[in-house]
Amino acid sequence: MKGITRVAALLILIVATGPVLAQPDPTAAGLEERVITATLPRGAEIRGLLSRRPGAMPEHVALLFVGSPGILRLDNDDGQLRWRMKGNFLARARRHLNDDRVMTVMVDCPTDEWDGCDSLYRRSSLHAEDVAALMAAVTAVLGPVRFTVVGTSFGTVSSAHLVRLLGNRLRGAVHTSTFAGPNRYAWEAGMTGFDWSKSPTPQLFIQHRDDACPTTPYRDLASAIGDLPLITVIGTKDADGPDCEAYSAHGFRGREREVMRALAAWIVSGEVAAAVGGP
Integer CA distances (angstroms), 34 to 48, 49, 52, 77, 106, in order: 8, 6, 9, 12, 11
- CA-closest candidate to residue 149, choices 136, 133, 161: 161
Q: What per-residue confidence (pLDDT) applies to 6? A: 38
Q: What are phi and psi of 54, to 5 degrees?
A: -55, 130
CATH code: domain of residue 9: 3.40.50.1820
| Spans in the chain with pLDDT lower than 70 | 1-24
- As to burial, measured by CB atoms within 10 angstroms (0-12 exposed, 13-18 middle, 19+ buried), residue 239 is middle
Locate the DSSP E strands across the chain.
Answer: 14-17, 32-39, 45-52, 60-65, 102-107, 146-153, 170-178, 203-208, 230-234, 275-277
Q: What's the CA gap between 3 and 241, in Å, rounded?
A: 44
Q: What's the CA gap between 61 and 220, in Å, rounded?
A: 29
Q: What per-residue confidence (pLDDT) applies to 24? A: 56
Q: What's the CA gap between 109 and 1, in Å, rounded?
A: 22
- CA-closest candidate to residue 110, choices 73, 157, 160: 73
- CA-closest candidate to residue 119, choices 189, 215, 176, 67: 189
pLDDT, tens digit, for every residue of 110-165?
999 999 999 999 999 999 999 999 999 999 999 999 999 999 999 999 999 999 99
Integer CA distances (angstroms), 6 to 136, 159, 174, 194, in order: 11, 21, 25, 28
Alpha helices in 77-150 (DSSP H): 89-92, 94-97, 119-122, 125-142
Q: Which domain holds residue 255?
A: 2-277
Q: Is the dihedral of CA 268, 169, 157, 63 positive or negative?
A: positive
How many independent structural domains does the chain possess? Answer: 1
Sort strands 45-52 and 102-107 into parallel, antiparallel or unpaired. antiparallel
Q: Is the dihedral of CA 216, 219, 225, 227 positive or negative?
A: positive
Q: What's the CA gap between 278 and 49, in Å, rounded?
A: 32
Q: What per-residue confidence (pLDDT) applies to 101? A: 97
Q: What's the CA gap between 270 and 228, in Å, rounded?
A: 13
